[in-house]
Structure 1
Amino acid sequence: MAIFDLIYLSCGLIGLGLLAYKIRALHSNWGSPRVVALISTVFFSAFAVFFAAPANITWINWVTGVPNFAALLVYALVVGFAGSSFALVLYWRYPPVQAWHRVRLILISYGSVIAAMVVLFFKSEVGDERQIDFDTFYATQPTVAVFLFIYLVSTVVGCGGQAYHCWQGARDEAISARPWLARGLLWYCFAGLFPVAFAVIKLFVLLMDWAGERSFDVLSLTAPLMASLSIIPLVIAMALPVFGPRRPSPRLWLRRWRTYFLLRPLHRSLAHVNPHIVLIAPGKFLNPHHRVRRQIIELNDWRWALTPYYDLSVGESAASLARQAALPKDELTAVVEAAQLRAAGTTEARRRPPQRRPAAEIVDGTDLATEHERWVRISRAFNSPIVDAVVAVRGHAARGTD
């Protein structure tokens, strides 16, 4: 019993968390039928799973004073979920007016199913409380058999319709052009297949019980766990279209870490210019986007601080050696900048009085990608043989002058 409680309560709490989030996020759009269908879908699924926990079943039966009332409540919630999820995907796929003609039929049909279930339940003799085997224990009682049959068939139809329309919608050209929305629909399709599988298994066991074959009853006990797990793909389905576009792709995440490690040697070499500005925001240590952004900010600050100590002869020497090596223009510029930074960062260079430099000498990247590429080229050139040679000559000249 403990494992049943753990699974049902965990999945139910996840669903209730999603429900609270959706109500808060969509409270201003309550006039939209699509929003009502969405909130109803999450509401029915979350409470169906939460109330299905054996501990809650006992509590519901005790509070109401009606043996097995929890079975009626949970099954009615499942039927409500099947109907609302079917209505939701119709509102997703069709214009509101066109969808309403179909949704109205769903409301009438599923409302009638729930009403019939209530009548059949109270017409049945179900005085012995059964927490987890209500279906198999009362399967051969005619009114309960009909009760279970219409409940399971309506679940298959509703959730099967949901899965079908989500699958078709994900393949639609207009939706496939928005990959996160298409992925959300596929996950929503996947979420609908769980209760379909649960209902099909239950129907099979019910038919076997009618035929007098009880060896399959164990399947009826485990099938509800499968339905409860549908809350997980449902959460993913509703989160992907909202949060997916806001999250960087794994490829970009890896590219940022690569940029970070390429800039790291240069960043460490210049940190002595002003180590107090080095910052990693709390909770951002493993965020490569934040780490690279801070590297670029700090490198630019150090560059501005060193610019007054730039020596034009260092730049000319670096440019001359770069031309002899037939380096492309971008790499030549990076070599010159790296040589200036490295020479200006030495103790000897900073002993000289700073000089004013025109702003035109300092050219920043025009966008983030350009800025990253420029600093990566400078970092690669910082310890290159050309820069080593230029800085060595400049160091000998400075010591000779002293």
Structure 2
Amino acid sequence: MNLVVYVAAGALVLSSALLFRRPRTAPWNPLTVSTCAAIALGGFVFVCSAPLTLATVNDLTGIPNFGAPLTYGMLSAYSCSLLVLLIHWRGGPRERLRRAALRCVVAYGALIAAIVMLFALADAHTERLRDLDTYYANTPGMREMILLYLLGHSAAIVVMCTQCVKWEREVTGLLRTGLRLILVGALLDAVGFQLTKYTAVVARWTGHDLDFLSTTLAPPAASLAALLCSAGFALPRLLPAVLTQWHSLGDYRRLGPLWSRLRFASIAPKPPSSWWQLPQDRLHWREVSIHDALLALAPYFDDGVRETAREAARREGRGQHEARVAAEAAMVADAARRAAAGEEPPEVSSGSRLYATEVSGPSGLVELARVLETVHTVGTMGEGTVRTYHG
């Protein structure tokens, strides 16, 4: 059980870290912060509830069952974060959002304080790592603490289910998919975790033993519910970013042939060699370096080569745009050959801009790289060996 719980916690914390990644100069986004906080707190709840963690916390503090108020307090904080996230997700005037979020924090802060106080007043000297809720269901102080944390979590889940049902009819696309995942997770939490906990505790109150509901069924249901809810919150924000990185990786690789031909001409600073650098950052560096190389090769661009290649492409039946790109690819290949061989540039160089440098984004460079693959490969020299001509 410990391994499963820790793996689930790791997945949630990793998702939170990916969502939270942003440029240093980017402003704080309350929705992103609240999403990351909710997902991360869900992961911490898993860690705190693991029997191994409970035993470790009890040993370190020297207080039997001290892990219980820690776990219940963390669960209450997670419930609060869900409500705060819903507040920011719904949107509205900033001041209204701030007041609503503050009310949630104050209410659940008081709940956590009450949980700690009730634990301090209770007589719970027998350590229970798996069945504390049912073992102490009739113990004064502990009984109220257990009921209090369950009610606090139930309130958050009820609000979340209500809002998801209401919003699901108003949105489309990834946001609707995310809301449905949240709703499924919330319902699973309500039935698989809360209902089983309530039933097991009430059974103890009436002299019956249904502890297996609390110790066997509730933990995996809570884990799956938290994963589904976290996936629902993260999906609308994380999936577009993942797809962007995936497309950037594809463009980065497609620019490989072009970069291998022109890298000798680039004097742009080399990118930091960080293994964790995202594909989008790598693509940006490659674009900058290729543009720098094309600028360095500009004195070698020959309009005669371009026009000859354009006419040949038109005779082959290519359209105007395809003929232009093919002609520019031939001219770039010829310029790279001249520069790499140390030849003199043509007396009159081309003053026209390349299509690849006119369009925004990497699409023009990718198209140039694709066409350039069909042009005879030229040798290259060391980086920064192109002579610079002015005039």
TM-score by length of 2: 0.63
Query: 1:59–1:234: structure 2 CA closer, same or farther, 3 Å change rule?
Result: same
Residues 321-400 of structure 1 correspond to what in structure 2 (within 5 A)?
321-342=312-333, 353-364=344-355, 365-369=357-361, 371-372=364-365, 375-376=368-369, 378-379=371-372, 382=375
Quote the offset at 1:156 in angstroms: 1.9
Q: Which residue matches 1:205?
A: 200
Matched residue count: 363
Quote the offset at 1:330 in angstroms: 2.0
**Runs (5+) with no aligned partner, structure 1:** 384-402
Quote the offset at 1:202 in angstroms: 1.5
Quote the offset at 1:165 in angstroms: 2.3
Quote the offset at 1:217 in angstroms: 1.7
Q: Which residue matches 1:297?
A: 291
Q: Which residue matches 1:220?
A: 215
Contact 1:15–1:235 (Cα < 8 Å) also in 2: no
Residues 3-402 of structure 1 correspond to what in structure 2 (within 5 A)?
3-4=1-2, 7=5, 11=9, 48-58=45-55, 60-61=57-58, 67-90=64-87, 92-93=89-90, 95=92, 96-97=95-96, 104=103, 111=110, 115=114, 118-119=117-118, 126-139=124-137, 144-145=142-143, 147-166=145-164, 168-169=166-167, 172-173=170-171, 192=186, 195-196=189-190, 197-210=192-205, 214=209, 217=212, 219-221=214-216, 223-224=218-219, 226-227=221-222, 249=244, 252-253=247-248, 255-256=250-251, 259-260=254-255, 264=257, 270=261, 274=265, 282-283=273-274, 287=279, 289-290=283-284, 293=287, 296-297=290-291, 300-301=294-295, 303-304=297-298, 306-307=300-301, 310=302, 312=304, 314-315=305-306, 317-342=308-333, 353-364=344-355, 365-369=357-361, 371-372=364-365, 375-376=368-369, 378-379=371-372, 382=375
> Which structure has the highest helix share of the two?
1
Quote the offset at 1:45 in angstroms: 5.2
Rounded to whole Å, the distance in 2 between the matches of 1:57 and 1:235 is 24
Quote the offset at 1:44 in angstroms: 6.5
Query: 1:254–1:225: structure 2 CA closer, same or farther, 3 Å change rule?
Result: same
Query: 1:299–1:76: structure 2 CA closer, same or farther, 3 Å change rule?
Result: closer
Q: Which residue matches 2:380?
A: none
| Bigger Rg, structure 1 or 2 | 1
**Runs (5+) with no aligned partner, structure 2:** 377-391
| Sequence identity percentage | 20
Q: Which residue matches 2:389?
A: none
Query: 1:220–1:53: structure 2 CA closer, same or farther, 3 Å change rule?
Result: closer
Rounded to whole Å, the distance in 1 between the matches of 2:293 and 2:208 is 76
Q: Which residue matches 2:384?
A: none
Contact 1:334–1:377 (Cα < 8 Å) also in 2: no
Quote the offset at 1:361 in angstroms: 3.8
Structure 2 residue matching 1:130: 3-state secondary structure: coil
